[in-house]
Amino acid sequence: MGVTADIKRVLLTTVACFLLTAIAFRVNNQDQVPLISPFLFTLVIVLANLDQVRVNKLKAIGLGLMLTLPVFLVSVLAGVGLTQMLKGAQAGMVISSAMSGALMFLVNSLFFNMRSFKAGLAITAVLGAIAPFVARFVELYLPGINSSAGFIEDPGLFFICWQTLVGLGISIGIWVGVDQKKLK
């Protein structure tokens, strides 16, 4: 069909996102980790895929870090607003997770060569949307995970799941491509 993928690089980016977030929450379980975590996430995405940056590498890191703050704030405000409007925390969480995943993909598309932009954007939004369910599954069914019953009381598990899944979506956009010539 003409699909090319570098599975090793997709896995590297995904594992790096997971490890960095998990270690950050494990080492420093304070209130400031959720505020620092999005910046670390952006940094690990750029550093894990540095050879695919199409602009100056320092500019890509700076731009990514600068645009992470507005994405984070918009996502949190949208999540709170949607939760109030929809009268349900789960629906608001799913929609804001999908939206923030798509926004992070768009931020990264500014300085990465995206081989499959539309598919990567859609996959990242879907993976962002299922992050609350994955976090809930881990919380309920995997033994040994110490976490509270809700996402608000313990954001660490949600951040770990969301950043791992969105990192997977972004790396799919970077490393998986469809060769249009072979499709014709």
Each residue of 3-36: pLDDT tens digit?
777 899 999 999 999 998 888 877 765 667 777 8
Report whether pLDDT(178) > 90. Answer: no
For residue 89, the model assigns a pLDDT of 72
Q: What distance, in Å, lies between the first and last C-alpha atoms of the chain?
A: 10
In this structure, the strands spanning 3-5 and 176-178 are antiparallel
pLDDT confidence band for 165 (50 / 70 / 90): very high
Domain spans, the chain: 3-183
Tens digit of pLDDT for each residue in 110-152? Answer: 999 898 899 999 999 999 999 988 888 887 777 665 544 344 4
Give, as one character, the DSSP assignment of residue 52. G
What the block records as the tokens of 133 is 């369910």
Global pTM value: 0.86
Contact 131, 162 (CB under 8 A): yes
- Give burial (CB, 10 Å; 0-12/13-18/19+) of 2: exposed
How far apart, in whole angstroms, are the C-alpha atoms of residue 129 and residue 43? 22
pLDDT at residue 166 in the model: 95
Please name the residues in contact with 28: beta carbons below 8 A apart, sequence gap of 6 or more: none
